[in-house]
Structure formats: structure tokens, C-alpha cells
Amino acid sequence: MQKVAIVTGTSTGLGISIALQLAAKGIKVYATMRNLDKQSALLEAAKNANVHIEVRQLDVQDTASVERCVAEIVQHEGCIDILVNNAGAGFVRTTEQATEEEIQWVMDVNFMGIVRCTKAVLPHMRQRRSGHILNISSVGGLVGQPFNEIYCAAKFAVEGYTESLACYVQPSFNIKFTSVEPGGITSEFATNAFKQFNSTGGMKDDEYRPILEKYIGGAAARRAQGIYQTSDEVAQVVVACIENPEPPVRIRTSEWSNKFCDLKTRSDPTGKLLQESVIKTFL
């Protein structure tokens, strides 16, 4: 029986790559995005790859939109086997300069969007005692980084959310959870983060400016060194997790991201040991 997947945030970059690679594996893919006017890049890529993808409107910040989309897919397909919570947005600004509205937006897009989508699909997966939910997190969900504290806070929340669900929903209802932690992707994600930064005042001429300049210079240097991965490379890790009958609770997507997080992940790189310990402690 053909498996059914929902992928959020598929108008650009990683979302497109994940949707294409899953479809190439014979999975029925529902690629979702907030604005359907931006679907042309996905459809063109699907045509070039000779795969079929269903496109649906889904705004992760709108509960009604999420619930409607999930209900329509379940009604048509009878099930949802895979959810890839990919939609998200970067944010570069120190706490002192960020407005409360910006902070709420970052948390809503990157964390609450994942909660809304997970909440919508869980009853259907639980009824079938089967499913896999993958949350696209970041090394920023494990290690706090300069000028990214709001974004990192959202991704830390994703990590805790994923770990908690994995410790009781997985053993009870056979629904697997994986947090995917890229270390940097050469896609529109970082570009859009800096566009958002510039559109909301850019670099202020204050005491933070020289520190920010050093941070931005370092990011450019890492890009030049080829540290960042392509969307296709990260998508390959996502697909491998889906194909793994015993997927990790967390996984980095490159050698660099593994090294960067080594101090936090060395004793339990996949998160499985901690999962077993928490189950033993509480259940």
C-alpha cells in the first residue's frame, strides 16, 4: 500500500527537495505551503524529476488552515503515514533590538507551527498505531549561537517537544519521532533571514554592531569553505530516516554539524539512550 506524506513549507529550498525525494521513492506526497502563488518552483522541479506531487494550501500559523488540510487529505487517502514539519524561518537580531511582535512571530512559525501540524495528524496515526513525524530543527536547537537566541529558543523548544513525544507516544502507539538538525543549508532560508533583518532596521550603530559584523563575517567565511549543505543533501538524510525501521530521535545532517554539537551529543548521538532512560524512569 502506498504511503502518504505531508511536507510543510515546500515553496522553496529544503521543502522542495524533501517532497521530490519522497515522491521518487513512490510515496504519495502532499506538498503544502502558505501561499499557493509560490508553487511554480515546486511544480517545475517535479516535472523535471518526472514525479507527481499534490499541492495543498496550509498555513502553519493558522489552526483552521492546518486542520482543514489534514482533514481533506485523511478523507481522500484514509491515512497519513509521514509528517515532515519543515516550515520555518530564521531570525537574526539581539534580544534588546527585537520587538515583542517579532519574538512572538519567530516562536509561532518555528515552534507552534510544528505543534499545530502534529496535533492535527496524531489522532489519525494513533488510530492506526503507525506513523513517523520528523521535525526539521537545527544545530541551533542544541547549541545557542550569537544573535540567534530567539531562533535558538524556538528550536530548543522543538527539541524538547520531540524528545517528550518520543518517550511515550512512540512506545505506546508506534508513532516514531525524529528531530533533524542541519548545520547550515545553501538555500533561501539564510537569505530570507537576512532580508527580514534588513527590512526591520538592519544593523544598528550601537555596541552590538562590531560583534554582529564579526558574526556575519564568520557566516560568510563558512559558506565560502563549503561547510553548508545543499537542500538535496539534507533531504537525503530525511528520507533515510523515514526508510529506517528504527529511526533516531535526533540526527545531525553533516560531519560539520556533528562536530559542532559533539560536546552535547557525544554520549548519546541518536537520542535513543536518553529515550530509553526516560521511559524507564517515568513509565
CA 210 to chain centre: 31
How many Å apart are CA 39 and CA 43, to the nearest integer?
Answer: 6
Tell me if 177 sits within 8 A of 133, measured CB to CB.
yes
DSSP string, 136-173: E--GGGTS--TT-HHHHHHHHHHHHHHHHHHHHHHHHH
**Terminal CA-CA length for the chain:** 34
DSSP H stretches of helix in the chain: 13-24, 40-49, 63-77, 100-107, 113-128, 149-173, 188-199, 209-224, 231-243, 255-260, 262-265, 272-282
How many Å apart are CA 213 and CA 228, to the nearest integer?
Answer: 20
How many Å apart are CA 23 and CA 124, to the nearest integer?
Answer: 22
How many Å apart are CA 227 and CA 273, to the nearest integer?
Answer: 29
Other beta carbons within 10 Å of 142: 21
Catalytic residue flag (residue 151): yes
Structure letter (DSSP) for residue 3: -
CA 230 to chain centre: 15
Which of these is catalytic: 30, 151, 161, 228? 151
The residue written with cell numbers 539512550 in the block is: 273
Residues with a catalytic annotation lie at 151
